[in-house]
Amino acid sequence: MDTAAAEWTSVGDTRARRGCGRLLGAWLAGLLLAGVGVAVGFRVADSDGLTPVPQLLAFLPWLLVPTGVGLLLSLFARWWTGLVGAVVLLGLLAWYIEPYGKIGDPDGTAVASFRVLTSNVEFGHATEALVATVRREKPDIVFVQECEHTCDATLREALGTDYPHRAAQIADGSKGSVVLSRFPLTSAAPVPGTMAMPGAVADVRGHAVRLQLAHPMPPLPGRTDLWRRELRELRDFAADTDTDRTPLVLAGDFNASQDHAAFRRILDTGLHDAARLTGHDRTPSWPARTTPTFGVQIDHVLLSPHFSTRTTRFLTLPGTDHRALLADVTLHQPG
C-alpha cells in the first residue's frame, strides 16, 4: 500500500508541475502577445498612439520575435486562444512589413542626374568621417544634421572650395544643420522646429529644385506630441509645395520610419522614398552600432515624382549612431 501511495503521489506531483509550467507559459505568452497586440492595434488604426507605442512601432518588423515566442509558449501551454491570437498577429505583421505607398516611373525626359548624401553626425562627432566620405563619394548635395559650430568650421575649411554654396542654421549640440551644394542656391524659408531644418532652391543645370532638410525631434517618452507636431510641419510643407511644378528633395533624419503614421502622412503628399525605389525600404540606418543585424530606417531621402532613383547605399561613418544615406537621382522634365 505504501509503494502504491508513493507512486500515486509522484504522478500527482508530476502532473502538478506540468500544470504549473503550462500556466506560467500561458501567462508569459499572454504578456508578450498583449504587448505586441497593442502596437499592432495602433498600426491597424493608422495611429501612433502614446508612449510606448511610437517606440514599439519603430521596430515593428522585430515584433515578429516576441510574437513567435508567444506562439511557441501558447503551443506548449495548450492555450488555443493564445495560439490563434499569435497566428493572427503574425499575419498582420507580415502584411504591414510590406513597403508603404504607391510608386511609379516619372514621365518626361531625363534632364539632370546628381548625387545626394544625408548624414546625422551626432553632435558633430563624425564630421571628419563625413569629410572623408564626401571626398570619396563626391555627392553634389549634402544634408548634414547635428552640425554644431566646430562641425561647421571643419566643413567650411575642408569642403568650402568644392561646395561653395550652403544653407545653414548652426547651433550648439544637436540643433545645428547645414546643406552643402555644388549647385548655386537661393534662400528659402526653413521649416520650423526645435532643431534647425534649413531649406534652399538649387539651380541644377538650369532647373530649379527645392531642397529641404528634415530633422524633427525624436519620439522621446513624454514628448511624442512635439515629435508628432514637427513631423506634421514637414507634412504641411510638402503638401504646400507645388510639386507638380517644382521638384522637391526632402532629406535628413526624420526620427520616424514607414511604420509611423506621422511619417506616412508625409509620403501621402506624393513623395517617394529613394530607398524604397531601389529595394532598400527595410535597410536599417539607426542605431548604427547594431546595423544591419538590428535597427530601423529613420534616415530618408524623399523625392517628388519628377525623380527616378538609380542607386541608394547606406554608409557607416565612425563617430555617429546613424548611417549615412547616398542616393543617385535623375530629374525628369514632363513633356
Contacts of 51 (CB under 8 A, 6+ apart): 219, 221, 222, 224
Tally of residues, the chain? 335
Do residues 322 and 288 make contact, with C-beta atoms less than 8 angstroms apart? Answer: yes
pLDDT at position 15: 60
pLDDT at position 104: 77
Nearest-Å Rg of the Cα atoms of the chain is 25
**C-alpha cell belonging to residue 306:** 519628377
Alpha-carbon span 273 to 263, nearest angstrom: 11
Beta pairing class for 141-145 and 109-120: parallel
Alpha-carbon span 305 to 328, nearest angstrom: 15
Alpha-carbon span 30 to 202, nearest angstrom: 54
For 216, which DSSP code? P
pLDDT values of the chain reduced to their tens digit, one per residue, 335 residues: 565 554 545 545 556 566 677 788 889 999 999 999 999 999 999 999 999 999 999 999 999 999 999 999 999 888 889 899 999 999 999 999 999 977 878 888 999 999 999 999 999 999 999 999 999 999 999 999 999 999 999 999 999 999 999 999 999 999 999 999 999 999 999 999 999 999 999 999 999 999 999 999 999 998 999 999 999 999 999 999 876 678 999 999 999 999 999 999 999 999 999 999 999 999 999 999 998 889 999 999 999 999 999 999 999 999 999 999 999 999 998 76
pLDDT at position 245: 78
Alpha-carbon span 163 to 134, nearest angstrom: 10
Contacts of 10 (CB under 8 A, 6+ apart): none
Burial of 75 (0-12, 13-18, 19+ CB in 10 A): middle
